[in-house]
Amino acid sequence: MKRMQLYLLCLLVLSLQIVPYRAFAFGLEVGVGYWMQSPSGNFAFNSNGLTGTDLNLKSDLQYNTQYQPYARIKAELPLFLPNIYLMATPMSFDGTGQKNISINFGGQTFNANTPFESKLNLNHYDLAFYYSLPFLKNATLDVLNVELGINGRVIDFQARVNQPTTDVSASKTLTIPVPMVYFGMQVKPVKNISIEAEARGIAYGSNSYYDIIGRAKLIIYGPAFISAGYRYEVVRIDQSGVKADVNFNGPLVELGFSF
């Protein structure tokens, strides 16, 4: 019994040496910003045994770049508990386009050379559980930090096509849960400046999802910071009749605080 107590005491002392004291404290980072989302790619909706027509987001649907807000929260929890990362990313596009051939969408046929309206939502919400690599942060004197974990994403997919002159419309709503891996890295060459990167992704069957963010962050006063960067997102869906291969990318700016 005494030997076991001595072993546990040694293990505790060792853990205190390799894990920084900050691991016992609570840390919080909150950021809100705007992402300039530039869309590209195609999507289709197959239904009633009919193959949907591929619709290009730019040339067919006339979707333009959108400036849309997003928000994120990171909470660093005490030792042995996983840290938590929450992020909400609205993504909505609409436009009026036309095509020189008839369109099949959701089992409905839309006339050629006739304007149609469309709307596409791909709002998504992330919840990640991750751990930092404390020995790496200690070895680099807090210059480099690496985070590894799992991320659960829920995609709220909504698509609608409507042709007012023919009174034909079709829509599809789909909630897609996506398990992903999470990787984060922060490099802090000087006290108030950091270069950060984070990636979420998974691929299975004909589906794949990748979300990569890079940013430079500057502490401006106390816990307040400003950051600017770039985000690149790939969504490939082939389920429940929805087939999409779309990309969204563009710069972002953000304000927040961390302590």
pLDDT at 8: 37
pLDDT at 121: 95
pLDDT at 144: 94
User: DSSP class of residue 54?
Assistant: P
pLDDT at 230: 98
The residue that leads in pLDDT, 4 or 152, is 152
Q: Closest Cα partner for 244 from 209, 193, 212?
A: 209
- Residue 5 inside a domain? The answer is no
Return the percentage of the chain with pLDDT > 90, whole number. 75
The residue that leads in pLDDT, 49 or 200, is 200
- Model confidence at 25, pLDDT cuts 50, 70, 90, reads low
CA distances for 138 relative to 70, 80, 230, angstroms? 32, 17, 29
- Residue 3 inside a domain? The answer is no
Opening angle at CA 50, ends 46 and 53, nearest 5 = 60
pLDDT at 206: 81
- Residue 146 inside a domain? The answer is yes
Mean pLDDT of 31-44: 96
Instruction: Tell me how far apart the alpha carbons of residues 226 and 204 are, in angstroms, rounded to a whole number.
Output: 36
Two tokens at 88? 């909400």
- Residue 11 inside a domain? The answer is no
- Model confidence at 139, pLDDT cuts 50, 70, 90, reads confident
Average pLDDT score, the chain: 89
Q: Would you call 11 helix, strand, or coil by DSSP?
A: helix
* Number of domain units in the chain: 1
Condensed to tens digits (0 to 9), the pLDDT of residues 193-247 reads 999 999 999 998 888 999 999 999 999 999 999 999 999 999 998 988 999 999 9
- Model confidence at 135, pLDDT cuts 50, 70, 90, reads confident
The domain that holds 91 is classified in CATH as 2.40.128
Has residue 24 got a pLDDT over 80?
Answer: no
Condensed to tens digits (0 to 9), the pLDDT of residues 173-198 reads 999 999 999 999 999 999 899 999 99
Has residue 45 got a pLDDT over 60?
Answer: yes
Mean pLDDT of 122-142: 89
Has residue 2 got a pLDDT over 50?
Answer: no
Mean pLDDT of 6-30: 51
By residue range, what is the domain housing residue 108?
Answer: 24-258
Has residue 20 got a pLDDT over 80?
Answer: no
pTM equals 0.85
Condensed to tens digits (0 to 9), the pLDDT of residues 72-112 reads 999 998 878 899 999 999 999 999 999 999 999 999 999 99
List of residues 6+ apart from 63 with CB closer than 8 A:
39, 57, 93, 94, 95, 120
Can you give the length of the chain in residues? 259
CB count within 10 Å of CB 218 equals 12
Instruction: Tell me how far apart the alpha carbons of residues 150 and 179 are, in angstroms, rounded to a whole number.
Output: 7
